[in-house]
Chain A
Amino acid sequence: MAFLEVQGLVKHYGSTPAVDGVDFTVERGEFLSLLGPSGCGKSTTLMAIAGFIEPTSGRIAIDGRDMAAVKPNRRNIGIVFQSFALFPHMTVTENVAFGLEMRRVAAADRANRVADALQLVRLDAFADRYPKQLSGGQQQRVALARALVIRPDLLLLDEPMSSLDAKLRDEMRVEIRDIQRRVAITTILVTHDQTEALLMADRVAVMDRGRIQCIGPPHEVYEKPGSAFVSNFLGRTNLIAAEIIARSPGRLRLAVAGVEIEAVGEATGERTTLSIRPERVAFGEQGLPGRVESCLFMGGQWMYRVATQAGELVVLRPNEGGAPLATGASVHLAWPAAAAHIVHD
């Protein structure tokens, strides 16, 4: 049995469903990321797990124990909010000690644990400051220490990085990931940032319109998105219409603008849609003919837009030091059969 079980979770606001039947499980010590655009129901799901939002229906169980009748303050869950939600009238130490105080931990033990927690997030030198005297990254670390010091069964991170600037965000992702590994705590991260979800989590669940569209390890979800929404949301992709010529188990023979190709996946009917990641497309002698429309330099990569019979495709090629293809050049686009995935709308 999984450590956290969410079954058939539904939350309606009035008649509109915010969460419309969500099922997933999280193993002990696992890091799951709920990824999706704003309004997809990911935060509502998280707050239902925390107990602050009462589900319309569905079941949430932690370690086999049903949470329906358990109040938020009895769930032993640590939460880091987007706004950090620090207590402005308390010092860093008082903030971190609050949860231990509520658990009636003896003063000496409390002081030790607070000190340990502050050391874990490298804030021992700021113990006596007030939150408003700290930078955004420091405030976030206080919030993390405050959530971890109570040794929660579950750590919930609600868009914790979205109010930090880009550079700090990159650092904190790695840092939080490291801390999560070190203390081996079951964690759920809610984010709308695909890089963050892919980078930090053991598994990613992509949500849209109140449902989980796709769940799995980051590279699998990225490589085999399954739906057009997921492939578009998880990084950039090329969606191409294709005609089905022949079928074999797990494989399809397709025609894209008159050029025959192979793809992985199953599809019924005569037409289908392919998803091909821009970094998997290469220029070659044979393949889909096209014309270079534009070429943008991105430092590590060149981004080409190529007009073809099947529509405009984006191609990412690594920068190997040489000159790029000129605008207007005639090219052929090719990709490995395994890079072309059937997606459903």
Chain B
Amino acid sequence: MTRRNGPLALVFHAAFIAFILAPLVVVCLVAFTPEAYLSIPTTRWSLRWFKAIWGSDFIPAFWISVYVAAAAASLALLVSVPAAIATARFQFPGREALVAYFLSPLMVPHVVLGVALLRFMAEVGLTANAFGLIMGHVVIIMPFTLRLALAALAGMDRHVEWAAGSLGASDLTVFRRVTLPIILPGLAGGWLLAFIQSFDELTMTVFVASPGTTTLPVRMFQYITDNIDPMVAAISAALIGLAILLMAVMERVYGLERLLAGKGGD
């Protein structure tokens, strides 16, 4: 049974939602200003700043972000699935410690990671290298892919795998034909969260990114330290639009809740 909210609670919820949404709304409004400075358009709308994005170096930075995020999320997933199976299915000494270790990047401040990675990559000669940046992102986003892979495996009936085994399937076939299809929604959810985390990552990336591997958040950060104009607002509005579009597509194709709740099977 659900209880109805009282008027006070309703006001609180409304204020809370407004607080979350207001900055986004303001950014989107500012993006349409015809002026050369940050302002909410009052008399006239303009696509001037959106046009300015085109041909700027924000576009390559966007693509670098997409490549880095896709590569890092995929790599993190590839590492997470065997790790999740090992820790969810088998009992061995140090199992808990291993899970805690894999999830520990959540606890370490990104600034610290950034400094550490910068030093480390300088030592091993990975600076000015997309590979180094991707590996750094893998460290940060791996907790997300691992968590969702673990949740998907935990939500799965162990007996389904046993049934497949008793019917004659080898361990590898059981994984390929039964386990993987069942946990796939969970894995997809993990990949998506990891992608978003990586795409969004600024704090650590600022330390590690080099001129050849400037991601979009880093480029935007650099830009607003030198300029104050509505260009960044336009990019933000474009990103918000893109995110809404992607979510709508995924909702249609898959069901967003199912994807992000990380549930296995039905």
A87-B178, A132-B266 are known contacts. Are A79 and B170 too (CB-CB below 8 A)? no
Cα distance A27–B159 when bound, in Å?
A: 27
Cβ contacts under 8 Å, B157 to chain A: 83, 85
Given contacts A73-B169, A99-B167, A99-B168, contact A85 B182 (CB under 8 A): no
Known: A83-B157, A88-B266, A89-B265. A103 touches B168 (CB 8 A): yes
Point out the residues of chain A lying under 8 angstroms from B165, CB to CB: 52, 72-73
- Asked if B160 contacts A85 (CB within 8 A), the reply is yes
Counting chain B residues whose Cβ lies within 8 A of the other chain, the interface size class is 10 to 19
Counting chain A CB atoms within 10 Å of each CB, which of B159, B173, B266 scores highest? B159
In the complex, the chain A residue whose C-beta lies closest to that of B168 is A102
B223 near A: Cβ within 8 Å? no
CB pair A81–B178 under 8 Å, yes or no, is no
- Choose from B160, B166, B177, B178 the contact partner of A73 (Cβ within 8 Å): B166
State the B residues within 8 Å of A (CB): 157, 159-160, 162-170, 173, 177-178, 181-182, 265-266
**In the complex, A204 Cα to B222 Cα: how many Å?**
78
Q: What are 16 A-B contacts defined by CB distance under 8 Å?
A: A50-B162, A73-B166, A74-B168, A77-B166, A81-B159, A81-B162, A81-B163, A82-B159, A83-B159, A83-B160, A85-B163, A87-B160, A89-B182, A98-B169, A99-B167, A102-B167
Query: Which residues of the partner chain A approach B177 to less than 8 Å between Cβ atoms?
Result: 98
> What is the CB-to-nearest-CB distance from B162 to chain A, in angstroms, rounded to a whole number?
5
Q: Is the CB–CB distance between A73 and B182 below 8 Å?
A: no
Q: Does A55 contact B (CB under 8 A)?
A: no
Q: Which residues of A contact B168 (CB under 8 A)?
A: 73-74, 76, 99, 102-103, 150
Roughly how many angstroms separate A150 CA and B167 CA in the complex, as a whole number? Answer: 7
Pairwise interchain contact B159-A98, C-beta atoms closer than 8 A: no
Interface residues of A in 41-60 (CB under 8 A from B): 47, 50, 52
Min CB distance B106 to A, Å, is 31
CA distance in complex: A87, B157 (Å): 10
Q: When the two chains form their complex, are residues A102 and B166 in contact, meaning their CB atoms are under 8 A apart?
A: no
Is there contact, CB below 8 Å, between B160 and A79?
A: no
The chain A residues found within 8 Å of chain B, CB to CB, are 47, 50, 52, 72-79, 81-83, 85-89, 98-99, 102-103, 131-132, 143, 146-147, 150
Residues from chain A with Cβ under 8 Å of B167 in the complex: 73, 78, 98-99, 102, 146-147, 150
**A204 and B211 alpha carbons, distance in the complex (Å):** 77
> Shortest Cβ distance from A77 into chain B, in angstroms?
6
Q: Cα distance A98–B167 when bound, in Å? A: 7
A143 and chain B: residue at smallest CB distance: B163
Which A residues touch B162, using CB under 8 A?
47, 50, 52, 72, 79, 81, 85
Q: How far is the CA of A89 from the CA of B167 in the complex (A)?
A: 17
CA distance A110 to B178 in the complex (A): 20
Nearest neighbor of B158 in chain A, beta-carbon distance: A85
Contact in complex: B170, A73 (CB < 8 Å): yes
Roughly how many angstroms separate A150 CA and B168 CA in the complex, as a whole number?
A: 9
Q: For the complex, give the distance between the alpha carbons of A50 and B165 in Å.
A: 10
* B169 & A102 in contact (Cβ 8 Å cutoff): yes
A132 to B266, CA, bound (A): 8
Q: How far is the CB of B157 from chain A (nearest CB, A)?
A: 5
Q: From residue B89, how far is it (CB to closest CB) to chain A in Å?
A: 12
